[in-house]
Chains A and B, each alone.
Chain A
């Protein structure tokens, strides 16, 4: 075994350990919203009850409380609870285990575009990050969405690679099929992922020459096959897709806001959001947070930054 293989094996051992270490005990309570999100799985796994509107393949407002309506999140949490009971381990383990192959896929995909050193560096820094570990180990929909997004990005990125010895049916049929399905199921993750399948679809169509007409058609058909579930109530599905529980800028603008016109509200709020996000990226946070990233209890925090401040120098460099 050469040194590179040894280092890779060590990195993946570390990654697996980080994903599952003390997963049933740390933190020793349900993460925010998770109790509400696994209701449907608990109903079925413990009581054998499935209510008619518990889970749906139609697009819904997919937030952290209502994640159990997503068939994919439901399946993940149900399997855990069914096999390991209503325990923190049972709720978290399947999501964490799913993250592992997604990270292997990420490494494999990045290797096609970048050097092995960079690929290892990326997944190691990402997986050791509290910002990644917190949601991924929690068993919630945010972590599962990260895994789903990584997979969809990787499969779509692999479409851009020449076949390089891969079997013809894998390269020409299976890969576009999996890539299409992995992108199309993203709306069953957390609402914030809903922009990504659209971007991926556009990206694939823009590069139709490079990817190949046949493969792009297979990719599109795979997406359409998954989306066809929505045709039963397409109008509603489209209306709900970017609804974001009515909390988006445009939905919120329809309400009254202390004398502000809808346009005035949009501009004011957008400016404030841009400022918050800009501060976030520029590292204008409090000095106390330099060594103390407040990741654990910070789901609603504004002005908080979830990467160690010193890493921002490397971010700028990147």
Chain B
């Protein structure tokens, strides 16, 4: 900044200006706060300035007249840069991350168990209120090839707008063995026919079972 103004080299101010621009989405948060995702672009100018800080110190060290001091300071700075590198990499690959998708895991485990208990069972799963926007991606990933096969065979049905009418008819005809939902109130609104099934509340989902 100082050099940008004093030496009349406005290009040197660009990273600082960009830092301000990148922080704008965070600063202009009305709902929620400036958090990591809203400040994601900040990482670019921020690390630019950090790298420049290192570089600037390196230049100062290299300009020392005494060879010993110059070598020692440069080596020290190089070690600091390497330490930073190693620290950041270690931090990323060692941080304890927790998967919070216990609801979907519970459903997947239940369905897998149900399939082994009753080979002919047809199970429907309703994940979110909106039947299409969220498309059971994590559920399908967790289930893997077995779950995909069950879906192809029609033994596991994912509730969507496209099969809403068909499912309603299946519930009426009592062809469905179990209907699992993560949003009970919405499910019963869309499929009032479920009232003919036995309702069970599980820890991570609600279940309607054919008597």
Contact = CB atoms under 8 A, between A and B. Distances in A.
Contact of A273 (B27, B55, B93): B27
B82 to A, nearest CB: 10
A124 B31 contact: no
Assign chain A's interface to a size class. Answer: 35 or more
Interface stretch (A164-172, A229-237, A247-255): A247-255
A195 B21 contact: yes
Contact of B134 (A36, A113, A250, A291): A36
B53 A142 contact: no
Contact of B53 (A246, A277, A298, A316): A316
Interface stretch (B112-120, B136-144, B179-187, B189-197): B136-144
A299 interface: yes
A281 B46 CA distance: 9
Interface string A185-221: 0000011110110010000000000000000000000
Interface string A3-39: 0000000000000001001100011111000011011
A177 to B, nearest CB: 23
A125 B84 contact: yes
Interface in A115-152: 115, 117-118, 121-122, 124-126, 128-135, 142, 145-146, 149-150
Given A39-B135, A87-B141, A274 B27 contact: yes
A122 B30 contact: no
A266 to B, nearest CB: 8
Interface stretch (B33-41, B63-71, B168-176, B203-211): B33-41
Contacts of B202: none
B188 to A, nearest CB: 24
A25 B7 CA distance: 50
B132 A126 contact: no
B87 A280 contact: no
Given A42-B140, A125-B84, A318-B53, A132 B89 contact: no
Interface of A: 18, 21-22, 26-30, 35-36, 38-40, 42-43, 46, 49, 51, 64, 86-88, 113, 115, 117-118, 121-122, 124-126, 128-135, 142, 145-146, 149-150, 153, 190-193, 195-196, 199, 244, 246-253, 265, 269-270, 272-274, 276-277, 280, 291-302, 304, 306-308, 310-311, 313-318
18 contacts: A22-B93, A29-B97, A29-B101, A40-B135, A86-B140, A121-B51, A121-B55, A135-B40, A196-B41, A247-B32, A248-B30, A273-B26, A276-B34, A277-B26, A291-B87, A292-B91, A300-B36, A307-B46
